[in-house]
Amino acid sequence: MATRLPHPLARRDVLYGIHTPKEKLVELADAYFQEGMLFDAADFFVEARDRDGLSRIRKAAIESGDAFLLWQVKESMPELVSKADWDELARSARSLGKPVYAERAAGGGEPPPPPLAEEIMGEVAPGASAAEEDEAERPDGAKDSSGKPRPGKSGRRRRKKEIQGG
């Protein structure tokens, strides 16, 4: 008989309930796995600390080129994931047209450093710091009362925050 998958709220209670036996967690993990719901299956295998189940998730992650799924296995049981696994996942991800996953896998699963907030907002040229941007002359050539070039927008915003106490 096929295991019936719980409603999302019941899933939460079963997954994180203190009285859920390991056998029930593994049974539900297997059911999620068979339905192709790998992240849900991984959650249950992780909670059950089921090494065999997590090994199956590891294999599925490598085959599907899913770096985030392999990362979940690594976070739970680091000894199950090797450098060779990441290399294989990177090849698989490239062949499946998943360049972001391939890049993450090539870095051993570590996420790339986040861009600077100023770069995201478009106020600073990529690679330039906010301080360098402040020192740059404004395109209109504006100068302050001492004859020094006035800083661009980001410098004014920063000074405004300092004055306002933020």
pLDDT along the chain (166 residues), means of 10: 78 83 91 93 93 96 94 93 94 93 82 59 54 52 62 56 62
- Please answer whether residues 28 and 3 qualify as being in contact, where contact means their C-beta atoms are separated by less than 8 angstroms: yes
Using a 10 angstrom Cβ sphere, with 0-12 exposed, 13-18 middle and 19 or more buried, the burial of residue 99 is exposed
Helix/strand/coil for 135: helix
Structure confidence at residue 9 (pLDDT) = 84
Structure confidence at residue 158 (pLDDT) = 58
Q: Taking the CB of residue 14, how many other CB atoms lie within 10 A of it? A: 17
Structure confidence at residue 50 (pLDDT) = 94
The H helix count followed by the E strand count for the chain is: 10, 0
Structure confidence at residue 36 (pLDDT) = 92
Structure confidence at residue 5 (pLDDT) = 85
Q: How far is CA 29 from CA 9, 23, 24, 78, 90, in A?
A: 16, 10, 8, 20, 26
- pTM, full prediction: 0.64
Structure confidence at residue 61 (pLDDT) = 95
- List, in sequence order, the alpha helices (H) in 35-98: 38-48, 51-64, 67-76, 83-95
